[in-house]
Structure 1
Amino acid sequence: MAIENNNPLEQQNNPDRNGSNGDATTASTRRRKKPRRDGKGSNTKTNNPTTTKSGKSSGRRGGKGQAGTDNQALSTAVDPNLAASDAADDAAAMAEGGIKAVGNQRIIPFMKIEKPMALLSLFMVIGSIIAIAVNGLNLGLDFTGGVSADVRYEQPVEQVAVVQALADNGFDDAVVQYLGTREELLVRLPPQSDNVDGLNTDLTQALALPNNTATISNVNIIGSQVGNEVYLNSVMALVLALVCMLGYVALRFQFKLSLGAVLSLFHDAVVTIGVFALFGFPFDLTVLAAVLALIGYSLNDTIVVYDRIRENFRRVRGITPEQTIDLSLTETLRRTIMTISTVLLVVLAMLFLGGEGLYWFSVALFIGLLAGTYSSTYIASSIPLRMGLSRDDFIVKVKPEFEEEIVTFNDPKMFEQDNV
Structure 2
Amino acid sequence: MAIDNNNPLEQQNNPEPNGSNSEANTRRRKKPRRDGKGSNTQSNKSSKTSLSKSKNRRGGKDSGQDSHALATQAMDPNLSNNLDIGDAEDNAAAEAEGGIKAIGDQRIIPFMKLEKPMALLSLLMVIGSIIAIAVNGLNLGLDFTGGVSADVRYEQPAEQVEVVKALADNGFDDAVVQYLGTRQELLVRLPPQSDNVDGLNASLSKALALPNNNVEISNVNIIGSQVGNEVYLNSVMSLVLALACMLGYVALRFQFKLALGAVLSLFHDAIVTIGIFALFGFPFDLTVLAAILALIGYSLNDTIVVYDRIRENFRRVRGITPRQTIDLSLTETLRRTIMTISTVLLVVLAMLFLGGDGLYWFSVALFIGLLAGTYSSTYIASSIPLRMGLSRDDFIVKVKPEFEEEIVTFNDPKMFEQD
Quick check: TM above 0.5? yes
Q: For 1:92 and 1:46, how far apart are their aligned partners in 2?
A: 21
Q: TM-score, normalised by structure 2?
A: 0.77
Residue 98 (structure 1) shift: 5.0
Residue 17 (structure 1) shift: 4.0
Q: Deviations over 1:353-402 (max 9, x none)?
A: 00000000000000000000000001000000000000000000000111
Partner of residue 102, structure 2:
100
Partner of residue 391, structure 2:
390
Q: For 2:306 and 2:361, how far apart are their aligned partners in 1?
A: 30
Partner of residue 253, structure 1:
254
Q: Deviations over 1:135-168 (max 9, x none)?
A: 0000000000000000000011111111011001
Partner of residue 418, structure 1:
none
Partner of residue 405, structure 2:
404
Work out whether residues 313 and 394 of structure 1, in 8 Å CA contact, stay in contact via their aligned partners in 2: yes
Q: CA RMSD in A?
A: 2.3
Q: Deviations over 1:98-148 (max 9, x none)?
A: 53145x432110000100000000000000000000000000000000000
Work out whether residues 99 and 323 of structure 1, in 8 Å CA contact, stay in contact via their aligned partners in 2: no
Q: TM-score, normalised by structure 1?
A: 0.77
Q: For 2:409 and 2:178, how far apart are their aligned partners in 1?
A: 80
Confirm or deny that 1:276 pairs with 2:277.
Answer: yes
Change (3 A) 1:408 1:279: same
Residue 91 (structure 1) shift: 3.7
Work out whether residues 97 and 112 of structure 1, in 8 Å CA contact, stay in contact via their aligned partners in 2: no
Q: For 2:270 and 2:46, how far apart are their aligned partners in 1?
A: 56
Q: For 2:222 and 2:231, how far apart are their aligned partners in 1?
A: 15
Q: For 2:382 and 2:368, how far apart are their aligned partners in 1?
A: 21
Which amino acid in structure 2 is aligned with residue 293 of structure 1? A
Which amino acid in structure 1 is aligned with residue 127 of structure 2? I
Residue 49 (structure 1) shift: 5.2
Partner of residue 147, structure 1:
148
Change (3 A) 1:363 1:403: same
Residue 404 (structure 1) shift: 1.6
Q: Deviations over 1:169-191 (max 9, x none)?
A: 10000000010111000000000
Q: Deviations over 1:287-343 (max 9, x none)?
A: 000000000000000000000000000011111100100000000000000000000
- The percent of aligned pairs where both chains have the same amino acid is 89
- After TM superposition, the structure 1 = structure 2 runs for residues 9-408 of structure 1, keeping only pairs within 5 Å, are 17=13, 47=44, 88-93=89-94, 99-101=101-103, 104-407=105-408
Point out the structure with the larger helix share: 2
Q: For 1:157 and 1:326, how far apart are their aligned partners in 2?
A: 55
Q: For 1:46 and 1:149, how far apart are their aligned partners in 2?
A: 82
> What SS class does the counterpart of residue 399 from structure 2 fall into?
coil
> What SS class does the counterpart of residue 237 from structure 1 fall into?
helix
Partner of residue 24, structure 1:
none
Residue 97 (structure 1) shift: 5.5
> What SS class does the counterpart of residue 213 from structure 2 fall into?
coil
**Equivalences, count:** 339
Q: For 1:284 and 1:374, how far apart are their aligned partners in 2?
A: 26
Q: For 1:275 and 1:153, how far apart are their aligned partners in 2?
A: 37
Residue 274 (structure 1) shift: 0.1
Partner of residue 26, structure 1:
none
Residue 94 (structure 1) shift: 6.7
Q: For 2:45 and 2:410, how far apart are their aligned partners in 1?
A: 46
Q: For 1:316 and 1:408, how far apart are their aligned partners in 2?
A: 36
> What SS class does the counterpart of residue 176 from structure 1 fall into?
strand
Work out whether residues 98 and 323 of structure 1, in 8 Å CA contact, stay in contact via their aligned partners in 2: no
Q: For 2:297 and 2:43, how far apart are their aligned partners in 1?
A: 49
Residue 48 (structure 1) shift: 5.8
> What SS class does the counterpart of residue 174 from structure 2 fall into?
coil
Q: Deviations over 1:192-236 (max 9, x none)?
A: 000000100110111110111110000000000000000000000
> What SS class does the counterpart of residue 108 from structure 2 fall into?
coil
Q: For 2:255 and 2:283, how far apart are their aligned partners in 1?
A: 38
Q: For 1:382 and 1:160, how far apart are their aligned partners in 2?
A: 48
Work out whether residues 256 and 387 of structure 1, in 8 Å CA contact, stay in contact via their aligned partners in 2: yes
Residue 47 (structure 1) shift: 1.9
Q: Which moved more, 1:283-292 or 1:402-411?
A: 402-411
Residue 93 (structure 1) shift: 3.0
Residue 92 (structure 1) shift: 2.7
Segments of structure 2 that go 5 or more residues without pairing to the other structure are 1-11, 15-39, 48-86
Q: For 1:47 and 1:408, how far apart are their aligned partners in 2?
A: 48
Q: For 2:91 and 2:276, how far apart are their aligned partners in 1?
A: 44
Q: For 1:194 and 1:336, how far apart are their aligned partners in 2?
A: 52
Change (3 A) 1:154 1:411: farther
Q: For 1:178 and 1:221, how far apart are their aligned partners in 2?
A: 20
Which amino acid in structure 2 is aligned with residue 161 of structure 1? E
Segments of structure 1 that go 5 or more residues without pairing to the other structure are 1-15, 19-42, 51-85, 415-420
